[in-house]
Structure 1
Amino acid sequence: MSGPLAGVRILDLTTVVMGPFATQLLADLGAAVIKVEPPEGDNTRHLAPMRHAGMGAMFLHMNRNKRSLVLDLKKTAGREALLELAAVADVLVYNTRPQAMARLHLSYAELKAVNPRIVYVGAFGFDQSGPYAARPAYDDLIQGAVGLPWLMMQSGSDAPRYVPATMCDRIVGQATANAVLAALFHRERTGEGQAVEVPMFETMAQFILGDHLAGRTFVPAMGEAGYARVLARFRAPYATLDGHLCVLIYNDRQWQRFLAAIERSELTTDPRFTTLAARARHIDEICRFVADQMRLRSTAAWEGLLSEIDVPWMRMNSLDGLIDDPHLAHTGFFRRVEHPSEGAMTTMAVPTRFSASQPEALEHAPRFGEHSAQVLREVGYADAEIAQMARDGVTVIGGEGN
């Protein structure tokens, strides 16, 4: 693999979304990631749509650039094999609760004993010093815990609802990738490995309250929690004569140009419109005013006018509109690739550009156990030993990589 992380070796014990997304970010940057799967496989292998069993679409988009090794870590031989791999790894990432890792005798202390330089990263529900420490966590639960369904209702939804994306998993996945990089940088400077914990609840609480702590920032409080601008009920894509458009008239000069263009220049001296602070105080009225104006012209007419006066806008895409977006087509964001078992498929490019270490190779998401024998041979296992491990249910040998 090429890329800025070429040569970094990562053991990925994670499943579902948060952990695999984190380790794919690192794999996309060139890290050599071994996906250590249980005998039943990662759950997302089984989420439709799929062409073949065990190769669901979500799995394909979170596990490229990885090799698949099946190990039953509840069996002594499986644990021993993992420790052999850990001895030459730079990073181990897991997303089960720490208590589960302790029951497997794969705690930080036990990993450190075989590799003092290892970076041991756990991404799980809650800070382990709090009363929620042992509780399980999933994206929906953390969305609820940090108030996202409540915020949706406050901003206009008729009932609490979750954001229709695995938002917490992916945000915390990015935080996990950042934590891995920071710990590797620390080790580069000091030679010292360490254990790192990335809790979902606290990470998302920081994310949400960065906007919404608001008046409760101050002691005593200067007002309620909540960022008024993003909670405004009229803050939404604006309806036009024939569709919808996303528009943000933000600074004073943009407002002056907008009001002149719609022949409402008299409002430039209206106290509600004159400054950013004033507009924030009257955000519902401001959004309602813009909504009333947007209904008077077609989407194309607004796109032309707003471009002319340099007011930011974007079309409101559907999922199909996003996939067919001309900008993404021009930048080569989507790529047609041929998967060895799944055939022709669309994948996404690494969006970050590097001037000196651009990642280039994109390897297919692995079939279940595709690289089990290959990886075990690399740490000294003979073919006869690997065959016995397969017969004992410690590993699964599958795919062409072996």
Structure 2
Amino acid sequence: MSGPLDGVRVIDLTTIYSGPIATSILGDHGADVVKIEAPGGEAMRPGFRQRRNGVSGPFAMMNRNKRSLVLDLSEDSGKRVLERLLGGADVVVENFRPGVMGRLGFGWERMQAINSRLIYASINGVGPTGPYANRRVYDAVIQAISGMASLQADPTVERPQMINTLMCDKLTSITAAQNICSALYAREKTGRGQRVEISMLDSSLFFLWPDSMANFTFIGDDIPKRQFGSHAYFVRQTKDGYIATMPVQPAEWSGLFTALELDELLGDERFATPRARQENGDLFQQLITDAYAQFTTGELVERLGENEVPFAEINSREAVIEDPQVKAMGALVEFEHPYGGAMRQPRPPGRFSDTETDIFRCSPQLGEHTDAVLDEYGFDSNEIQRLRDQGTVA
């Protein structure tokens, strides 16, 4: 089987995290993604921590299912090569700061003239306009602007905390991949490509709004603002560790009370509804906290399961690898990278009945596919050799 995006040709000009993850998703779905790299290689290629035989673990994950072409875009000859690549591509993706593509000579009007069917996806921090548009932007900056860092604030000290993963980069990647697929679908109806701008700030606000920003949906003073909820209550200390529970429906709360031997709370009006539990929150939380501490984690696993309460043991990062559900799903794939050796990565998350998503190819060596890609895009062997001699490609 071939992937759902089989036949889609993508020129990937992106670096670091947000762009490479987005284009790797397209590659996971079968698109032919050509990663354009400067002669020195992409910044993430050397890696900062986990490496083997010169292969960086993060780079290998974010650049699987791609081919690599080295191209010097600082030279006019390199720009002419890019123009020809764009002429035969379906999608081009970049995550430069606003204005860079225009200065390179590849603004949207020029791209339309080169290829009217081209989808041009531009991933950036905060969009091309506004007081922050020319700032350098990374994940922590967007966590700060979007309010995400304040979600994690410790209420006892009111100190904001960053989420300990590149949340904004990664959710922007998923948003970008989805937007690109929508633009490809629209092209099937119109016959024309279009420009798609995806900002990290837009993506993060959309992600936060349904729950974390619910107080700000209604404009005006007629709807009173409510106290912000805390997910800290989902983590409970047991006699010998921790467990996560998230009862939502009435039957799940009843199951929790039974599991914790708090059946007397079932008929207590102070705790009968979400509003009542909130109004009597301090007492309720103390009763619940004390009850959890009476049981070991293993005992609670049995009791919560028997009473159909949503729960899970809290895995360490190491324990994730051995989790029985992760293993049963086949969620982690082990394979042999030709340079990096034995590796483990998550499979593409979507499961398709008629088309395949997979790790079709490992992350490429720098310039590994330069000649093959140029040949496929119409360059003859003499042209390719001349470009190599000039240092335009490598």
TM-score by length of 2: 0.93
The 8 Å contact of residues 92 and 120 in structure 1, kept in 2 or not, is answered as yes
Distance in 2, Cα, partners of 1:359 & 1:6 = 10
Deviations 1:337-361 (A, max 9, x none): 1112222222221221111112245
Runs of 4+ with >4 A deviation: 154-158, 280-285
Distance 1:288 1:99, change over 3 A: farther
Partners of 1:287 and 1:113 lie apart in 2 by: 64
Alignment-derived partner of residue 166 in structure 2:
166
Structure 1: any 5+ residue segments left out of the alignment? 397-402
Provide, for residues 163-199 of structure 1, a one-character-per-residue CA deviation record: whole Å limited to 9, x for no partner: 1111100000000001101111111111121111001
Counterparts of 1:63 and 1:31, CA distance in 2: 13
Percent identity between the two aligned chains: 35
Greater RCO between the two (CA within 8 Å, min separation 6)? Answer: 2
Aligned positions of 1:294-305 closer than 5 A: 294-305=292-303
- For the residue of structure 2 that corresponds to 1:153, the secondary structure is coil
Give the aligned partner of residue 324 of structure 1: 322
- Amino acid of the structure 2 residue aligned with 1:270: D
Partner of 1:255: 253
Trace 1:384-399 onto structure 2 (pairs within 5 A).
384-396=382-394
Cα distance in 2 for partners of 1:329, 1:227 equals 40
* Structure-1 separation of matches of 2:239 and 2:42: 47
Deviations 1:47-103 (A, max 9, x none): 2211233x2110001110100011111211111111111111111111002300101
1:214·1:223 contact (CA, 8 Å) conserved in 2? Answer: no
User: Which whole-Å CA distance do the structure 1 matches of 2:332 and 2:142 have between them?
Assistant: 31
For residues 2-401 of structure 1, the aligned pairs below 5 Å read: 2-47=2-47, 48-53=49-54, 55-154=55-154, 159-221=159-221, 222-224=223-225, 228-229=228-229, 231=230, 234-283=232-281, 285-360=283-358, 362-396=360-394
Look up the SS of the partner of 2:45 in the other structure.
Answer: helix
Task: State the Cα distance separating 1:395 from its structure 2 match.
Answer: 1.6
Structure 2, unaligned stretches of length 5 or more? Answer: none
Deviation by residue 1:106-136 (Cα, 9 ceiling, x = unmatched) = 1111111110011101010113232322222
Q: Is the 8 A contact 2:255 2:304 kept in 1?
A: no
Partner of 1:400: none
| Counterpart AA for 2:94 | Y
**Matched-pair contact (CA < 8 Å) for 1:13–1:95:** yes
Query: 1:11 aligns to what SS in structure 2?
Result: strand
Seen in structure 2, the aligned counterparts of structure 1 residues 178 and 288 have a Cα distance that, compared at 3 Å, is farther
Residue 353 of structure 2 aligns with an amino acid whose one-letter code is S
Call closer, same or farther: CA 1:351–1:392 in 2, change over 3 Å.
same
Counterpart-to-counterpart distance in 1, 2:316 and 2:259: 29
**Paired residues of 2:152 and 2:161 also in contact (CA < 8 A):** yes
Query: Could you tell me the TM-score, scaled by structure 1's length?
Result: 0.92
Say which is worse superposed, 25-34 or 385-394, in terms of deviation: 385-394
Alpha-carbon offset, residue 8 of structure 1: 0.8
Q: Give the secondary-structure state (helix, strand or coil) at the position aligned to 2:220.
A: coil
Give the AA of the match of 1:60: A
Cα 1:213–1:363 shift into 2, 3 Å = same
Structure 1 residue 37, shift from structure 2 partner: 1.1
Q: CA deviation at 1:288?
A: 3.8
